[in-house]
Structure 1
Amino acid sequence: MDIRYPSRIRLARIPTPIEFCPRLTEAFGGPRIFVKRDDLTGSVLSGNKVRKLEFSIAEALREKAQVIITAGGIQSNHCRATALVCARLGLECHLVLRGSRSRTPDGNLLLDYLAGARFSFFPREVYSTRKPEIVADLIERYAKQGKRAYYIPVGASNAIGTWGYVRAFEEILTQAERMKLTIHHLVTAVGSGGTMAGLLAGQLLTRRKNVRIWGVNVCDDAQTFITEIRRILEEMNDRFHTRFRTSSVAVNILDGYVGEGYAIPYNDELKLIAFAARAEGLVFDPVYTGKALYGLREEIRKGRFRKNENVLFIHTGGVFGLFPQRDVIASVLRETIE
């Protein structure tokens, strides 16, 4: 069926390639591993967030916004992408960040500064409990300056942003058909829910029931994301009349690979990141894709995926998140070299 999309602004360099990973396949000892290279959606705009921003920013421009407000952690890939998109389009950007101001910004935060974003930093407990109030105050403050502000939620994970991965799902189907590739499973990291919600929405709208979609949560727990993803799909129903039966949508979350918490990497994950870089020339990040890839490997070892199947892993980018973790990564690298 033809999908009626909301309007979008072209920001991502797409389609991104699908690549076979022979050495990961051999090392994991299970199904054939393919990677959807959404780390190649741009240079500094790389990753999954820019697909969602194509729709979110288009809506902001329709509403005549002059300022974009969004939120996330200090090393948020989404905030970095938003700041750089705003710079590219001549919009102001204000980031509400969880954490404290750094004297020497690094990684994504450094790029936020280079892009000219404005900042409001808040301790975790304030950010977690007062974010709606903080955002409302900022919108009012800009209104008093005669500027219209538009708020994009964390990860652009809402009804409008999620269309980015509906479109990505259609893109994957087209590529697989051209490659004569049967994809049995899609695997993605889940941090705010919008990417997986979009993939599921794409599957529902295209009626391709033969692909199973799996998310590896990098924070919180499985039930949190089952609830959140169904909420996003319900929001799509409300805004775009998609008619998803959200209560019956299978949201498959592979839990157990968060470690000590969000953005806290662990040794086995970092060793796998190092192995993938050496074996395939693919660089995964310690916050999202590293944990998701580790989860995929462990689930293969548990027998969830069969050897005669094909698994497509969505590489959602995040390379800039490596640099603030340089010390812990260096210690693991020394172990692997020695």
Structure 2
Amino acid sequence: MALTTASTLEFLSKKPYTPPSWASHLNPLPSHVFSLAHLPTPIHKWNLPNLPPNTHLYLKRDDLSGMQLSGNKVRKLEFLMADAVAQGADCIITIGGIQSNHCRATAVAAKYLNLDCYLILRTSKALVDQDPGLTGNLLVERLVGAHVQLISKEEYAKIGSVAKGLGYAMNTSEELNFVREIAATTGVVLDPVYSGKAAYGLVKDISESPKKWEGRKILFIHTGGLLGLFDKVDQIAPLVGKWHRMDVNESVPRQDGIGKMF
């Protein structure tokens, strides 16, 4: 059966860009974009516990902008990739942390458009000479054939660094436990680098100053980044549980083959 909806016809297509009124003063204005995301992403009510009276919280799900490209990173890549193709580029080079969502999205977008991709990824000095493995974003990047080059954080720090808590992509146990609690109570999985820290700060401020937030309407943008959690499994493991081996009474008769559903 052929799929002929507007969204499927537009995906990966190049189209003229008309800026919204609030961006019309930008110079230079992009002339075209590549349609790489499934937009608009949905908005729904987010039932966080312990909100002040008459406070309404909504969640903008940019984590649902696509599969390999899920997250807000794809929004800028629609412009950057169009510019690269217009200039006749045959490869894309970008840099980020070892679990960079931007780098993963760039690798997939480049492959969609038949461009080669080189990723320069920051890692620890102890691991810079080792195979980085296939965890989280690295799995997707390497599956789509990106060229991965490693640089130590110390070498990268000579250029510059960012300090958003303990630092970029670093989390306290309180932040990770917050991510776990939100997933367990609302079903929404936040990433540890951006959305998790931002939501942690929001909820902390709401709990400390409830009167300031009472009666307000809040829109929180979930920017994606789920795969970044795979790099935190050692920190998260002590925070999660809820598993055990099921005890089966020996008096219950067992049968080989297909089991019965009751």
For 2:147, give the aligned amino acid.
Answer: R
Provide the secondary structure at the position in 2 that maps to 1:121.
strand
* Alignment-derived partner of residue 171 in structure 2: 265
Measure, in 2, the Cα distance between the counterparts of 1:124 and 1:269: 23
Provide the secondary structure at the position in 1 that maps to 2:57.
strand
* Alignment-derived partner of residue 259 in structure 2: none
Q: Deviations over 1:196-232 (max 9, x none)?
A: xxxxxxxxxxxxxxxxxxxxxxx526xxxxxxxxxxx
Sequence identity percentage: 43
For 2:180, give the aligned amino acid.
Answer: A
1:279 paired residue among 185, 195, 218? 185
Deviation at 1:84, TM superposition (A): 0.6
Measure, in 1, the Cα distance between the counterparts of 2:204 and 2:213: 13
The answer to whether the aligner puts 1:126 opposite 2:150 as a matched pair is: no
Structure 1 stretches lacking a partner, 5+ long: 132-191, 193-218, 222-257
Deviation at 1:267, TM superposition (A): 2.1
The answer to whether the aligner puts 1:79 opposite 2:103 as a matched pair is: yes
Cα RMSD after superposing both structures: 2.3
* Alignment-derived partner of residue 105 in structure 1: 134
Q: Structure 1's 120 and 130: CA in aligned 2 closer, same or farther, altered over 3 A?
A: farther
Q: TM-score, normalised by structure 1?
A: 0.58
Contact (CA 8 Å) 2:52, 2:213: kept in 1 or not? no
The answer to whether the aligner puts 1:299 opposite 2:242 as a matched pair is: no
Q: How many residues align?
A: 212
Measure, in 2, the Cα distance between the counterparts of 1:27 and 1:324: 30
* Alignment-derived partner of residue 77 in structure 2: 53
Measure, in 1, the Cα distance between the counterparts of 2:200 and 2:76: 25
Measure, in 1, the Cα distance between the counterparts of 2:58 and 2:112: 32
* Alignment-derived partner of residue 46 in structure 2: 21
Q: Structure 1's 103 and 267: CA in aligned 2 closer, same or farther, altered over 3 A?
A: closer
Measure, in 2, the Cα distance between the counterparts of 1:96 and 1:130: 14
Measure, in 1, the Cα distance between the counterparts of 2:116 and 2:44: 37
Measure, in 1, the Cα distance between the counterparts of 2:159 and 2:171: 27
For 2:219, give the aligned amino acid.
Answer: L
1:40 paired residue among 61, 64, 89? 64
Deviation at 1:299, TM superposition (A): 1.2
The structure that has the greater radius of gyration is 2
1:70 paired residue among 65, 81, 94? 94
Contact (CA 8 Å) 2:52, 2:215: kept in 1 or not? no
Q: TM-score, normalised by structure 2?
A: 0.74
Provide the secondary structure at the position in 1 that maps to 2:50.
helix
Superposed, which structure 2 residues align to 1:198-277 within 5 Å? 220=163, 258=165, 260-277=166-183
